[in-house]
Amino acid sequence: MSSRGGFSSRIGFIAAAAGSAVGLGNIWGFPYEVGEGGGAIFVLIYLFFCFALCLPVMISEIAIGRSAKKNAVGAFNKLGHRNWNFIGKLGILSGVLILSFYNVIAGWAFGYVIEIGSGNFKVADDFGGFTADAFRMGVYGFFFMLATAYIVSQGISSGIEKAAKILLPLLIFMMISMVIYSLTLPDSMAGLEFYLIPDFSDVNGKVVFNAMGQAFFSLSLGMGALITYGSYLGKSENIISSAVLITLADVGIAFLAGLMIFPLIGYITGGTMENAGRGPALIFVTLPHIFGDIGGMTGIVVGTGFFLLLCFAALTSTVSLLEVPVAYLVDELRFDRKKAVWLMAGIIYLLGLPSLVGNGYSEFFTSFITYGGSDQPVDFLSFIVNVANDSFLPLGGCLIVFFASHIWKKRNLDAELAEGNPGYEGSLLQKYLKFALPYLIPLALAVIFVMTVLSTFFGIGI
């Protein structure tokens, strides 16, 4: 492998990419979206999107990266389409914005490890007060960014890959233990029923859009993270089976998160599930009460374990978010890796400060903007989520897929996918991609982008 470094094996790549995919989106986002989206029906729609729409986007991103062996911007130049490298620039911007707020939330999780680890379950009684404590949150976030930067500074195989190979199995082990534990509690079956038995009367446009957005974010698509990781993948590896495994790992872990959380909610609500739809507070408010109820040392161990697990999941994602701009600086501007890492980590930490203080500390950033068609202002963090996650990612995904099939051309993509995969030529998947990549998926993503912008910022539509 060149001096850029690379993954030492296919498993290393899969672990790192799955680590990127598995994050706050799976363990914090997925359960609350399921709760708000009416339970099992959301899960079904989510699964459909992951495989029918997102998997082909993932395959395209990895193929572009591996073919060019360059970062998200350089890849477009290397493939001979400099005019299209704005897609990579949009991706880097999205990554920087996402990491700026993602690190704040990861900091909350880290803060919970410390609070619950020292037996303070009361932290959940005043979650608003906790997140408004800007100084303390700033310190927690600082340590989280430090850990992220340290891993990325160590390079691809001895930093990113090694961290994922340690953290991911640990995460899975901890989750399975928690699932077993939560299934033994009284009324846990009511939670399972809510989670696993679909009620088709709950389907509406919003549920479908949220499921799509959640799938996209959860799989780390639309911003060049997988172009970047793909650029470190060897030619002899099979892109398609790797992408399928990454998707299965991501979906599997989100599914486990639900199996862990809904039985706990069944338990605390005595089977009524009335708190299931309480949104983002689900994990930070509802769960600590349950851990507190369990009481004693067991409560502390289970509670701390849960938030530690959330930190591990977040860390392999923040690492991938930081790697996107870092790879750009290293490849294109000839930065030394370590310098690029510390510079970007510093800038992104500072960019995160408005998201940090916008949770009650600063009135200006807390009531930051009021969108058209609404009279409720949203805070800065939510604004960045709406811009970067909800709008830029589908737009980026749409452009990447359009580029792969119309500009780079489907036959180049096919040739890249056939490398390391002799069975690809003539396969059913090839036939599906032939139809889905040029037309169906870009169109679907363009519609999602336009509808999201209209409904979020202008209050029009769904």
Q: Where in 352-381 is the site for ligand PFF (CB under 6 A)?
A: none
Least Cβ distance, residue 205 to ligand PFF (angstroms): 23
Site for ligand PFF in 421-440 (CB under 6 A): none
**Alpha carbon distances (Å) from 162 to 24, 159, 312:** 20, 5, 13
Closest residue to ligand PFF using C-beta atoms: 25
144 close to 103: Cβ distance less than 8 angstroms = yes
Alpha helices in 74-160 (DSSP H): 74-78, 86-117, 127-132, 134-153
398 in Cβ contact with 445 (< 8 Å) = yes
Instruction: Spell out the residues 6+ positions from residue 267 whose beta carbon is closer than 8 angstroms to its own.
Output: 182, 185, 186, 187, 188, 191, 290
Q: Least distance in Å: CB of 324 to ligand PFF?
A: 7
Q: Is 20 in the site for ligand PFF (CB under 6 A)?
A: yes
**153 Cβ contact partners less than 8 Å away, ≥ 6 residues apart:** 159, 337, 338, 341, 342
Residues in the chain: 462
* Region of 7-15, 23-31, 145-153, 371-379 interacting with ligand PFF (CB under 6 A): 23-31
- Rule CB under 6 A: say whether 320 interacts with ligand PFF: yes
When binding is defined by CB under 6 A, the residue of 227, 249, 321, 378 that contacts ligand PFF is 321
Which of 72, 148, 140 has its CA nearest to residue 317? Answer: 148
When the beta carbons of 391 and 421 are compared against ligand PFF, the nearer one is 391
CB atoms closer than 10 angstroms to residue 333 = 8
Nearer to ligand PFF, 132 or 175 (CB): 175
Report the residue number, 41 or 223, with the smaller CB distance to ligand PFF.
223
Nearest approach in angstroms of CB 28 to ligand PFF is: 8
Question: Cα separation of 94 and 320, whole Å?
Answer: 13
Which is closer to ligand PFF, CB of 106 or CB of 259?
106
Closest to ligand PFF by CB, 141 vs 266, is 141
For residue 89, the minimal CB distance to ligand PFF (Å) is: 15
Q: Tokens 């899969």 — which residue?
A: 14
Structure tokens at 325: 């701009």
Taking CB under 6 A as the criterion, which residues in 94-123 touch ligand PFF? 95, 98
CA dihedral 330, 331, 333, 335 (to 10 degrees): 20
Give the closest residue to 54 by CA, choosing from 353, 455, 441, 460.
441
Of 94 and 421, which CB lies nearer to ligand PFF in the complex structure?
94
| Residue 397 near ligand PFF by CB under 6 A | no
Stretch that binds ligand PFF, among 8-16, 18-26, 56-64, 69-77 (CB under 6 A): 18-26
Question: How many of the chain's residues bind ligand PFF (CB under 6 A)?
Answer: 16
| Cβ-contact 393, 222 below 8 angstroms | yes
Q: Which of 5, 7, 14, 26 binds ligand PFF (CB under 6 A)?
A: 26
Among residues 14, 16, 17, 24, the one that binds ligand PFF under rule CB under 6 A: 24
Interaction between residue 382 and ligand PFF (CB under 6 A) = no
Q: In the bound complex, what is the minimum distance in angstroms from residue 435's beta carbon to ligand PFF?
A: 27
24-32, 105-113, 241-249, 412-420 -> range binding ligand PFF (CB under 6 A): 24-32
What is the rounded CA–CA span in Å between residue 77 and residue 68?
9
Task: Give exposure, 166-202, as e/b (b: 16+ Cβ within 10 Å).
Answer: ebbeebbebbeebbebbbebebbebbbbbbeebeeee
In this complex, which beta carbon is closest to ligand PFF, that of residue 105 or of residue 190? 105
Neighbours of 357 (CB within 10 A): 23
- Does 72 interact with ligand PFF (rule: CB under 6 A)? no
Minimal distance in Å, beta carbon 160 to ligand PFF?
12
Q: How far is the CB of 246 from ligand PFF (least distance, A)?
A: 11
The tokens of 296 are what? 């004693």
CB 27, min distance to ligand PFF, A: 8
Rule CB under 6 A: say whether 21 interacts with ligand PFF. Answer: yes
Tokens (6 digits) for 331? 């490849």
Restricting to residues 211-230, name those near ligand PFF by CB under 6 A. 217-218, 220, 223, 225
Residue type, 100: S
Terminal Cα-to-Cα distance of the chain (whole angstroms):
49
* Per CB under 6 A, 395 contacts ligand PFF: no
Residue 208: strand, helix, or coil: helix
**Min. distance of Cβ 20 from ligand PFF in angstroms?**
5
- Does 157 bind ligand PFF (CB under 6 A)? Our answer is no
Q: Which is nearer to ligand PFF, 267 or 349 (CB)?
A: 349
Q: Is 25 in the site for ligand PFF (CB under 6 A)?
A: yes
Residues in touch with ligand PFF (CB under 6 A): 20-21, 23-26, 95, 98, 217-218, 220, 223, 225, 317, 320-321
